[in-house]
Each structure stands twice: as C-alpha cells, then as structure tokens.
Amino acid sequence: VGYSFLVDAERFGTIMPFAVGALAAGMALFPALAMVAVWFGRMRGLARVFLLAAAWLASEWARAWAFTGFPWNLIGSVWAFSDAMLQFASVAGVWGLSVATLLAAAAPSCLAGDGPRRRWPRVVVLSLLVPGALWGFGAQRLAAAPEPSANVVPGILLRIVQPNIAQSLKWEADLRAKHVAEQMALSDGPGSQGVTDVIWSETAIPFLLPDSTQILEAVARIVPKGGLLLAGAPRRAQLGGETRLWNSLFAINDQGRVVAVYDKRHLVPFGEYMPLRSILRLAKLTEGGGDFSSGEGGRTLRLPGLPDVSVLICYEAIFPGRVVDPGSDAKWLLNITNDGWFGASSGPYQHFAAARLRAVEEGLPLVRAANTGISAVIDGYGRILAHLALNRAGVIDAPLPKSLDGRTPFSRLGDWSVLILLIATFSVALIVRRIP
C-alpha cells in the first residue's frame, strides 16, 4: 500500500506514512477484538484454542465486510504454496483454511501450565493431524481430477497480454498511444494465427471509451476474425444530467464495435473514490480529479464465442463468496488488474494468491491479465497451468479450462459456511472446556 503513494511521490509521498499507519491501526482493531473475546471467555487449554479459532474467524469475516471490506491476506492464504492444501477451500472456503491454521498454530499453548504430558496428544492431533488430514483430502481430490490438457473448452485459444508498463508512465499524455501500440504488437506477434480471443489488463486502454472511436478502430485490427478483445479502459457517459466515470472492461469485436461492457462494482477507497469527500478534501491516487462510479447489474457477461464469464476488476477478486452472482451460470472467472501500483513488493504475490483461492472455492477456472504481472491461467482446482512472472513483458497463449462438474460446497453455501464454522468451533470450545 505504501508503494502506491510513491508512484507520484511529489503529490502523495508526504502523506504515505500517515495513510499506511492509519490503515495498519484500523486493521489491527479486528484481531484485537478477537483477543478481547478470548480474554473474556476465561477458557483454558483446548477450549481456549477453539475459542480463539472462532473469535479470529469472526474478526476476519467482519474485516471482509466492514467499511466496504478489505479481506486481504486472510490467514488461510498461507497455504497458497500447496495445491493439495488449497483443496479444502472448495468445501469451506478460505475461512475453513483459516480455522484449521489457527487450530494447528495455537495448539502448543495447551502445554502451558501443569500436566503438559497429558496434553501432548491434543497438541499432536491439532498441530499435525488436522493439516495432515486436509493435505490428504486435497491430494486425493487432485489425484481424481482430470488432466488439465484434456479438460479444456474446444475451439478457444486465449492470448493474455502483459505489457509491463510502469505505473508512473502509464498515463503520460505523450505515451498513451505508444502503450496501446505496444500491446497491439504483442497481441499480433508470433504465434497469433491460432488465437481466438485476446485479453488485456485493467485500464490497458488509457483513453475514455466509447468516446475514443479512433482507438476502437485501431485496436480492432488485432482482434482475431470472429473473436473478441477483452480490455480494461475508463468509461464516460452522461447519467442524470451529470458526467459519470467507471472503471470498466470492454468486449470489442473485429469491427471495432463494443459488444459488452462490465463496470467495476467494488471500488477502492482513496484509490478510485474519496469517502467523505465533503470533509476530506484530498485527491484520490488514480488518474483524474473526479471519483469513479460503482457499476450496477450482474457480473456475468454473455459473450459471442465464449462461455459466460464472471468479470473481476482488480481487487474484486479478493472477496470470498462474492465473485459470482447468486444464480449465475458463469463457466469461468476473468480477473483483469493493474498491480503496477505495488511495484516489486509482496503486493502482487498476495493478490495472486487470493485470486487462486477464488478459483478453488467456486470450482471455476480463472484467467488473469495483469499489467505488470502476475498474469496466469488457473483451473478450477487452483492449479497454475501457465503464467508470466512479475515485471516481465510477454504473452500467454493457452486454452480455456473447463469448469468443474457441479458446484462446490462452498459455492452453494457462501457466507453460511462462516456461520457453520463459528457454531462448530464455539460448540467444541464449550464441550471441552471442562477437560483439564
């Protein structure tokens, strides 16, 4: 987060320490409340471990919703290095992984006090057998999964473009046309003959659409015959007598015609709009003086030649259970983002880990186009089938994986899974509280 204030250090560098400090202090309130609940619970031993898991889960869920929500780096994300461990997210989401992690990590506290020898079995069960059981479940699930190469949508070959344009240069007036030309060259480069559709990142077209008809005509030249270019760009329109702006994805055909638009619904506070603007007279971080508007309507786009898709712009991908609309028949997730704001920090990797978890939770493949990386194709099991590393320019040519047969338990339950986990962990705490 601090890095984003240094993109335009002359304007925002001086407020960076205060903004980062305030964010850290605000986020710290959630685990602090969880600890207060554990303290007042007056439980000991194994009961306290389960109470901690319940309280921390509640605090993470609250953080995902309060003040528009910020579920970044939830505890369960620590398992992103292991395909097998991620599979439990299909059952209980990242929330279930968080509970299992807390139980395993906090179990050694049972050894405190008198009689540690009697408590060793409990520590072994929680610290070793719980993660071991989840790994076993995940390994079995992956062993039964179809081979990725044989589980693709026929007749579709996607080209994902990662131009690696520095955020400090992205909106320079004399460079914007050059940035578009660079992406066109990558799109139409070697190996493009078999490509059916091209995908660019968030705000890849740094011009207002659909106003910029010349840009639409230009980019149409690289759209495969009968295919689409899916690209991010700001959108401007008159609504209710005022000019409104949206952070959008455009589906553009080979005639330069816009056939579908998705407007980002979950905006970044202070980045895309200023909350309490009448009080806080500060400029937002992103380009332009006005605020972006929140999009309306369903996420699912029906596109010619492609399966129905649920679009996620930037950090919309970090919200568990909120990446597909209820009743949606989306067959894949499309995440376009510009993580150039985070530079070569941990931010892009954390964002990528969250996006992988959404694929496992929903059982849907996820295609990710990121300006500076990490771009990737991920199947419904969270397996990375192709990717481009951070801060590299290039393309990914890959087929579109099929979605899993049937919905995952988490995709059916959504936030109800949190309630089930809370009831289960708190009930166990009450049951074992009398065990010495």
Tokens representing 161?
Answer: 């473009």
User: Peptide bond before 384: cis, by omega within 30 degrees of 0?
Assistant: no
Spatial neighbors of 423 by CB under 8 A, at least 6 apart, are none
| 129 vs 357: CA distance, rounded Å | 23
Sequence-distant (≥ 6) Cβ neighbours of residue 270 within 8 angstroms: 19, 282, 284, 285
Cα gap 217→7, rounded to integer Å: 31
Task: Please give the Cα distance from 94 to 358 (Å, whole number).
Answer: 9
User: Would you please indicate which residues are annotated as catalytic (active-site) residues?
Assistant: 202, 264, 314
User: What number of H helices and E strands is found in the chain?
Assistant: 14, 12
Whole-angstrom CA distances from 395 to 133, 185, 188, 317, 378 are: 38, 11, 10, 22, 15
Long-range CB contact pairs, 413-421, < 8 A, 24+: 414/321, 415/61, 415/321, 417/92, 417/93, 417/95, 417/96, 417/321, 418/57, 418/61, 418/93, 418/95, 420/92, 421/54, 421/57, 421/92, 421/95, 421/96, 421/99
67 strand-pairing partners: none
Label the pairing between strands 384-388 and 152-162.
unpaired
**Alpha carbons 357 and 343: distance in angstroms, whole number:** 22
CA dist 369 to 186, 306, 387, 389, Å?
13, 17, 10, 12
Rounded-to-integer distance, Cα 36 and Cα 330, Å: 41
Q: Answer whether 31's CB lies under 8 Å from 73's CB.
A: no
Beta-bridge mates of residue 337:
370
Q: How many Å is the Cα radius of gyration of the chain?
A: 23
CA 52/CA 98 separation, integer angstroms? 11
